Amino acid sequence: MSKQQWPLYEVFIRSKAGLSHKHVGSVHAADAQMALDNARDVYTRRMEGVSLWVVEANAITASEPEDKAAWFEPAENKVYRHPTFYEIPDEVKGL
Amino acid sequence: MYTQGLDQQGDGPTLVENEQDLLEKFQAKVDAEEKIEPKDWMPAAYRKTLIRQIAQHAHSEIIGMQPEGNWITRAPSLRRKQILLAKVQDEAGHGLYLYSAAETLGVSRDELVDQLIDGTAKYSSIFNYPTTSWADIGAIGWLVDGAAIMNQIPLCRCSYGPYARAMVRVCKEESFHQRQGYEIMIALSRGSDEQKAMMQDAFNRWWWPSLMMFGPSDNDSKHSAQSMAWKIKRFSNDELRQKFVDATVPQAEYLGLTVPDPDLKFNEETGHYEFGEIDWQEFYDVIQGNGPCNRQRLAARKSAHENGAWVREAAAAYAEKQRQRKEAA
């Protein structure tokens, strides 16, 4: 028997209209349509979702955990991006 | 279903100095209850332990479909048949969540499947017992899935993110399994004398194997300490077994069952049940492949896998043809 493994697809579910799709796991499938069918059977047996995405796992580009500090540092040292950075007198309303 | 932690790898790797540093950071993260994710650095032994444990757990779910599948065509009503089908399908789903979690650690699905079929991987001892009457289906749902829940709830907080997330899904579904089993027992307990006897017989056969599901006693479970430090495991085998006995004995009494253990008694002081010694020889025999159904279970899995080969090949060929057509267009 051939040992060619079906590709891995990552599965994302929108649990209800108005919410984003969220990663839930993965399935193997010969092609994208089969991945959708398998994902439905494996991950939505109890009405977990109203919409499914499947993405071939090797199509995903991810950031490296080792770079986490440097990569996210620019966001960390710009506290003035948050509303709480600014001091407004208590008597001023509506801000 | 569940994991028994049968042969956890607890030996640490030989470390170079840089690794020592990484190891300390890793442990600090685990101690702070932060989750470890697939791409994070982790000790080789942590990875190896998790692959084995998650794989054993996945294999248990897959093999666990067989004893119950045995009764799908003979379920006593359409209602029971629908429920049992859904339950067995859930077990397949649990196996797939878990294989998916194991694969994030760098092992391939093919390797995992091969290890199960060639007998190098283990699975829970409980699935090597036969299901000889309908009452066994009740007993499995109530006791086996009940024991699985005790084991699995702490795993929802396991330090490895993908395993913990898979367990959250599994635990949500497991409660239905246990309740449908107990409901079967309730129906039998209100039935004829023959039905009551059938229920007691099933209980007699499943009680001790269910207690064995928690694994060896703490005195003989030498790798537990490392798994505790890594927060893969949260409670010892004996602690979980005690919880299970405490929860289950009153449920058995409600059904009018007699626990097949002459040493069982409630200790007013501790508030716990004391129970007799487990037949550890039987436990190790079953683990080593000599339980009542070990060979049958593996043969069934192997034949299902081999007989499905042409389907997998045809699907791959079809996908390739579609891809080529798309490219040509």
ipTM: 0.85
Q: How far is CA B212 from CA B3, B94, B125, B126, in A?
A: 12, 21, 8, 8
Q: Would you state the pLDDT for residue B19?
A: 86
How many angstroms away from the CA of B39 is the closest CA of chain A? 6
Q: Would you state the pLDDT for residue A1?
A: 40
Residue with tokens 């440097």: A70
Q: Would you state the pLDDT for residue B6?
A: 54
Write down the pTM of the prediction. 0.90
Q: Would you state the pLDDT for residue B225?
A: 87
Angle (deg, nearest 10), helices B78-103 and A32-43: 120
How many angstroms away from the CA of B194 is the closest CA of chain A? 36
> Any CB–CB contact under 8 A between B90 and chain A?
yes
Cα–Cα distance between B251 and B226 in angstroms, integer? 34
Q: Would you state the pLDDT for residue B18?
A: 86
Q: Would you state the pLDDT for residue B76?
A: 96
Q: Is B64 helix (H, G, I), strand (E, B) or coil?
A: coil
CB-closest option in B110, B173, B322 to A5 = B110
CATH hierarchy code of domain A3-62: 3.10.20.520
Total CB pairs under 8 A between chain A and B: 58
CB B105 within 8 A of CB B39: no
Cα–Cα distance between A25 and B138 in angstroms, integer? 31
Cα–Cα distance between B273 and B270 in angstroms, integer? 8
Q: Would you state the pLDDT for residue B221?
A: 78
For chain A, the structural domain boundaries read: 3-62
Residues 117-176 of B with CB under 8 A from A: 162, 165-166, 169, 172-173
How many angstroms away from the CA of A87 is the closest CA of chain B? 34
**Which residues make beta-bridge pairs with B69?**
none
Q: Would you state the pLDDT for residue A2?
A: 45
Interface residues of chain A, partner chain B, Cβ below 8 Å: 1-6, 8, 24-28, 30-31, 34, 41-43, 45-46, 62, 64-66
**Which residue ranges of chain B lie beneath pLDDT 70?**
1-17, 222
Q: Is A66–B315 a contact, with Cβ atoms under 8 angstroms apart?
A: no
Q: Would you state the pLDDT for residue A64?
A: 84
Q: Name the pairing type of β-strands A51-56 and A21-28.
A: unpaired
Residue with tokens 């949500």: B172
**Which residue ranges of chain A lie beneath pLDDT 70?**
1-4
